[in-house]
Amino acid sequence: MDIKTVGVVGAGQMGNGIAHVFALAGYEVILNDIDRATLDNALKLIDANLKRQVSRDRITEETAKAAMDRISTTMTLSDLGKTDLVIEAATEREAVKSAIFEELVPHLGPDTILTSNTSSISITRLASRTDRPEKFMGFHFMNPVPVMQLVELIRGIATDEKTYNAMKTVVDRLGKTSATAEDFPAFIVNRILMPMINEAVYTLYEGVGSVQSIDQAMKLGTNHPMGPLELADFIGLDTCLAIMNVLHDGLADTKYRPCPLLTKYVEAGWLGRKTDRGFYDYRQSPPVPTR
């Protein structure tokens, strides 16, 4: 499968990062979103991140300009039908993702590969709602995409070897490393990471430690670059809760029960950095703990 053009659905935090690395690797990229302002902001962010790479002598100005020239935007989902590979990077809600694939499928060529950047949802189930489950895979990038080296490759029950090998080749061309995961809830990274974050929230909820002491303990005691509560704010508390619910529902084990305090923060709309409040209040500099 000779992949030259890539469609990215969703121009948010993950989607713009995915567009960035694909354009930098020489692919023609069509970036789609339902909101024009989100698309415009994505282009500005990609340009700024490329310029940061230039300032650090990681790429040349010519390379950065060529990458920007390879990215086009559209608010019309069917425009992605002409691409060789589609990467869905919309919000982590199964109904939204399924609706996107349902709308997109009639416009696709017979050889187009469909993938989802989902961090937890069943690839087999998503694939079953398309006309090409054998050409459907999980293609899970880590955040921030231009910096993080790992991509999880997740095969659904129907994914064929040709599709898997094509995606592995793409990861290699991006200069990243792939890890193959089986199609179980949250795959590898989030199966391990999210329960740790959830346990940190329980530790706060039960009064074992404060926000600051929990994060400091994990940074200095286990050499983590970010504390678990700081990391949760970075990821988005709504995303953390959604993944914990997928684990809890999919594996039916009480050890995956989301902490009530995590649910309360999400209900309050305190989702972390993207709303300026989570376990830290980012309206102040430096941010201060909210508990």
Give me the CATH number covering residue 243: 1.10.1040.10
Contact 1, 83 (CB under 8 A): no
Known catalytic membership, residue 140: yes
Known binding residue 198? Answer is no
Known catalytic membership, residue 190: yes
Both 220 and 145 in one domain: the answer is no
Domain endpoint, select from 182, 211, 235: 182
- pLDDT tens, position by position, for the chain (291 residues)? 789 999 999 999 899 999 999 999 999 999 999 999 999 999 999 999 999 999 999 999 999 999 999 999 999 999 999 999 999 999 888 999 999 999 999 999 999 999 999 999 999 999 999 999 999 999 999 999 999 999 999 999 999 999 999 999 999 999 999 999 999 999 999 999 999 999 999 999 999 999 999 999 999 999 999 999 999 999 999 999 999 999 999 999 999 999 999 999 999 999 999 999 999 999 999 999 999
Q: Please give the biggest Cα pair distance in the chain.
A: 56
Q: How many domains does the chain have?
A: 2
Both 131 and 229 in one domain: the answer is no
Residue 38 exposure: Cα atoms within 13 Å on the Cβ side: 16
Contact 122, 185 (CB under 8 A): yes
Known binding residue 10? Answer is yes
CATH number of the domain to which 60 belongs: 3.40.50.720
Known binding residue 119? Answer is yes
Both 78 and 36 in one domain: the answer is yes
Pairing of strands 177-181, 113-116: unpaired
pLDDT at site 110: 95
- Choosing from 88, 117, 152, 230, the catalytic residue is 152
Known binding residue 274? Answer is yes
Known binding residue 11? Answer is yes
Both 109 and 222 in one domain: the answer is no
Measured between alpha carbons, how far is residue 13 from residues 38, 192, 225, 272 in Å?
Answer: 10, 22, 20, 13
Domain endpoint, select from 151, 182, 213: 182
Domain endpoint, select from 182, 209, 234: 182
Q: Per this entry, what is the length of the chain?
A: 291
pLDDT at site 92: 86
Contact 29, 8 (CB under 8 A): yes
Known binding residue 143? Answer is yes
Both 208 and 178 in one domain: the answer is no
- Choosing from 20, 32, 140, 230, the catalytic residue is 140
Contact 236, 243 (CB under 8 A): no
Both 58 and 92 in one domain: the answer is yes
Known binding residue 162? Answer is no
pLDDT at site 149: 97
Known binding residue 196? Answer is no
Which residues have C-beta within 8 Å of that of residue 128, sequence separation ≥ 6?
A: 156, 158
Closest among 201, 181, 290 to 241, alpha carbons compared: 201
Known catalytic membership, residue 206: no
Residue 284 structural domain: 191-289
- Choosing from 119, 120, 178, 198, the catalytic residue is 119
Phi, psi of 181, rounded to the nearest 5 degrees: -120, 150
Both 153 and 195 in one domain: the answer is no
Both 158 and 213 in one domain: the answer is no
Known binding residue 48? Answer is no
How far apart CA 29 and CA 87 sit, in angstroms, is 11
pLDDT at site 233: 98
Known catalytic membership, residue 119: yes
pLDDT at site 14: 94
Both 49 and 143 in one domain: the answer is yes
Known binding residue 142? Answer is no
pLDDT at site 1: 72
How many Cβ atoms from other residues are within 10 Å of residue 125's Cβ? Answer: 14
Task: Find the helix packing angle between 228-235 and 211-222, rounded to 10°.
Answer: 110
Both 113 and 217 in one domain: the answer is no
Closest among 19, 35, 17 to 27, alpha carbons compared: 19
Q: For residue 44, what are its two tokens?
A: 């500005």
- Choosing from 120, 190, 198, 230, the catalytic residue is 190
